[in-house]
């Protein structure tokens, strides 16, 4: 098991200026906050980070800012969301991430083509790995069929792991399905890195040999995620911390989409800058943010 790909990862929000441009000075503020609250690493430009809304050059600005900050925290793991429907663009962004010093990438399938076969997806991921993932680099597939419309089957995962045992590391499982969390453990044990994307399934996923989690709620609740992680490693699972995560996840899901919710509450609860979201997302209205904050604090 790769230690650098184990533990609690935040699906980080993306710091943006009011004109919607990336804010590289916000990256050290955000990463410092996440480190101090127990995160082992962070994923930039995932779903919560509004990844599909950014061009390669915009992502590179924040890749470089994150890598520069990580020089002071070498044990903190950096992952980048790099998948797009374009094969050539995905290769370009993936190369950028590794050239910037990131430890791994989390790659959406080409989500425009919802009827793509496993053979087609295998060819697509194989090309990305061969062209963009260096020796020592790790690629995880991003399984989020409710959003992408493209599932990564267990047969596909097996084929990719067999073909690229050192570079295809595993999966970010955001299916939100308890059965799938269990099934991954039954089929792969600890041979495949599984990072669970649904907070209320974190304990179940760990029991099913998951390597950790990458969640949106980690922006606000990473101490509870860390409690669940640490207590599981110690052989004494913390059900109270898991219950708090269940409640927090229910509130998060009551105010979709996640980025405006998180960017509204982070300044209110923790004093972080009031970063913008990029259209088509819109900022949370004050009255709704007041209601969400009250629920979160209750």
Domain containing residue 176: CATH number: 3.20.20.70
Residue 43 lies in a domain: yes
Could you identify the residue written with the tokens 């994307």? 197
**In a 3-state reduction of DSSP, which class is residue 139?**
strand
Nearest to 292 by CA among 266, 242, 243: 266
Domain that holds residue 37: 3-238
Does residue 279 sit within a domain?
no
Tell me if 204 is assigned to some domain: yes
Average pLDDT of 233-256?
A: 97
Q: Are 9 and 195 in contact (CB under 8 A)?
A: yes
Smallest CA-to-CA distance from 211 within 148, 134, 267, 140 is with 140
* Cα–Cα dist 133/97, whole Å: 10
Mean pLDDT over each residue of the chain, to the nearest integer: 97
Residue 1: band (very low, low, confident or very high) from pLDDT cuts 50, 70, 90: very low
pTM above 0.95, yes or no: yes
* Token pair listed for 154: 């267990």
For 49-60, what is the mean pLDDT? 97
| pLDDT tens digits along 205-237 | 999 999 999 999 999 999 999 999 999 999 999
180-211 confidence digits (pLDDT tens): 999 999 999 999 999 999 999 999 999 999 99
C-alpha torsion sign, points 284, 288, 293, 298: negative
Sign of CA dihedral 194, 195, 198, 203: positive
User: 203: how many CB neighbours lie within 10 A of its CB?
Assistant: 23
Q: Would residue 176 be called left, alpha or beta, if left means φ above 0 and alpha means ψ between -120 and 50 degrees?
A: left
Does 270 reside within a domain? no
Does residue 287 lie in a domain region? no
In a domain, residue 158? The reply is: yes
Beta-carbon neighbour count of residue 11 at 10 Å? 30
State how many domains the chain has: 1
Classify each residue of 91-104 as buried b or exposed e, where b means 16 or more C-beta atoms within 10 Å of its C-beta: bbbbbbbbebebbb
pLDDT at 3 > cutoff 80: no
pLDDT band at residue 4, thresholds of 50, 70 and 90? confident
Q: Is residue 247 part of a domain?
A: no
Residue 26 has pLDDT above 90, yes or no: yes
| Cα-Cα end-to-end distance for the chain | 39
- Is residue 248 included in any domain, yes or no? no
Region 130-146: mean pLDDT is 96
């Amino acid at each position: 098991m790769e230690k650098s790909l184990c533990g609690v990862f935040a699906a980080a929000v993306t710091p943006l200026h009011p004109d919607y441009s990336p804010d590289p000075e916000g990256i050290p503020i955000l990463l410092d906050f996440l480190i101090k609250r127990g995160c082992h690493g962070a994923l930039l430009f995932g779903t919560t980070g509004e990844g599909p809304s950014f061009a390669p050059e915009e992502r590179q600005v924040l890749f470089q800012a994150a890598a520069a900050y990580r020089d002071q925290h070498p044990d903190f793991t950096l992952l980048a969301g790099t998948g797009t429907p374009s094969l050539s663009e995905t290769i370009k962004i993936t190369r950028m991430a590794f050239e910037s010093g990131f430890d791994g990438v989390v790659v959406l399938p080409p989500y425009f083509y919802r009827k793509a076969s496993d053979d087609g997806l295998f060819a697509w991921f194989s090309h990305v790995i061969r062209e963009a993932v260096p020796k020592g680099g790790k690629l995880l597939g991003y399984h989020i069929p409710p959003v992408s419309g493209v599932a990564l089957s267990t047969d596909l995962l097996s084929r990719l792991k067999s073909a690229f045992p050192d570079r295809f590391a595993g999966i970010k499982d955001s299916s939100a399905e308890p059965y799938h969390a269990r099934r991954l453990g039954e089929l792969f044990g600890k041979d495949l890195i599984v990072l669970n994307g649904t907070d209320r399934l974190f304990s179940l996923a760990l029991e099913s040999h998951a390597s950790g989690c990458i969640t949106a709620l980690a922006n606000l609740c990473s101490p509870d995620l860390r409690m669940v992680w640490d207590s599981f490693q110690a052989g004494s699972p913390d059900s109270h911390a898991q219950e708090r995560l269940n409640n927090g996840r229910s509130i998060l899901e009551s105010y979709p989409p996640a980025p405006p919710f998180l960017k509204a509450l982070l300044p209110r609860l923790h004093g972080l800058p009031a970063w913008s979201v990029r259209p088509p997302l819109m900022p949370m209205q004050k009255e709704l943010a007041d209601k969400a904050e009250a629920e979160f604090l209750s």
